[in-house]
Amino acid sequence: MALIGPSLMCADMGNLQDSVLTLDQAGVDFFHIDVMDGKFVPNFTLGPDLIKRLREFTEKSFDIHLMVEKPEDFLNLFIESGADMISVHAEATNHLQRTLQTIKDRGLKAGVAINPATSIQDIEYVLDVVDYITVMTVNPGFAGQKFVPLMNKKLADLTYLINENGYKIDIQVDGNIGYETIPDVLKNGANMLVCGTSSLFKPNLSLELAVSKLRNFIE
């Protein structure tokens, strides 16, 4: 069964505590928290102090998506803020294997994220240390962008690569995941849906209703 993970950068910034409480109550599976440094991507979003504060309002997994240069320099900061899972970009570090191993050694789930143009061959030799792979289905940095069509082929190729090697790795999709794109990404092997403006955070739709609509749609 696919997991639903609200992307909190799309939530009401003036009402984050209530949004987290409501989403938790509505039955989401994890919270996707985007961190940006203005260098790896041309934007800034949520930081460790906010994450630490939000940690008080839910037991559900915090999936920290580090869209930052040299993520290895910031692991401690986010582990101490309450992360349960951390994904780092293959494109953002010279030491991907060591960074992923460090996350795992600290007892968290380790994820590797790849931008649309990045090949799955670039992460082939870390498949034994990752718990999940975040396939960026938009170019990272902003919500509300358009799904990159070739990403369905990438998902199918990645699913094949994982199965052929007998790994147990979750495939997370991140960007423009909504009613038009979900059927194909599920068919091609995704099982963790990062849900933002295309599915959960819509004007005039309550979070409770958005979650139950989405749950019914994917089941």
Residues annotated in a binding site for substrate: 7, 65, 141-144, 196-197
Cβ proximity to Zn ion: between 34 and 72 the closer is 34
Nearer to ligand DX5, 82 or 116 (CB): 116
Partner from ligand DX5, Zn ion, none contacting 89, C-beta within 5 to 8 A by type: none
Cα distance between residue 214 and residue 51, in whole Å: 25
Least spacing, CB of residue 194 vs Zn ion, in Å: 6
Residue 175's binding partner out of ligand DX5, Zn ion, none, with CB under 5 to 8 Å set by partner kind:
ligand DX5
**Residue 26 tokens, joined:** 């509505």
Nearer to Zn ion, 64 or 206 (CB): 64
Where on the chain is the footprint of Zn ion (CB under 5 A)?
34, 65, 174
Report the nearest approach of ligand DX5 to the CB of residue 50 (Å).
15
Residue 158 CB contacts under 8 Å (≥ 6 apart), including other chains:
120, 133, 135, 171, 189
For residue 34, indicate whether it is catalytic. yes
Work out how close the CB of 164 gets to Zn ion at its nearest, in angstroms, rounded to a whole number.
27
Q: In the complex, which residues of this chain contact ligand DX5 (CB under 6 A)? A: 7, 9-10, 32, 34, 65, 138, 140-141, 143-145, 174-177, 194, 196-198
Distance from C-alpha of 30 to C-alpha of 194, rounded to nearest angstrom: 9
Helix (H) or strand (E) holding 75: helix 75-81
Q: Give strand ranges (E) for 13-159.
A: 30-36, 61-67, 85-89, 109-114, 132-136
Residue nearer to ligand DX5 on the CB measure, 22 or 145: 145
Cβ atoms of 101 and 141 closer than 8 Å: no
The torsion angles phi and psi of 125, rounded to 5 degrees, stand at -95, 15
- Cα–Cα nearest to 7, from 170, 177, 217: 177
Least distance in Å: CB of 167 to ligand DX5? Answer: 24
Indicate the SS3 state at residue 6.
strand
Is 73 part of the annotated catalytic residue set?
no
Among residues 12, 63, 157, 174, the one annotated as catalytic is: 174
Token pair 């799904």 in the structure block, residue: 147
Task: Exactly one of 12, 34, 49, 128 is catalytic; name it.
Answer: 34
Position closest to Zn ion via CB: 65
Judged by beta carbon distances under 5 to 8 A according to partner kind, the member of Zn ion, ligand DX5, none in contact with residue 9 is ligand DX5
Cα 193 from chain centre: 8
Catalytic center residues:
34, 174
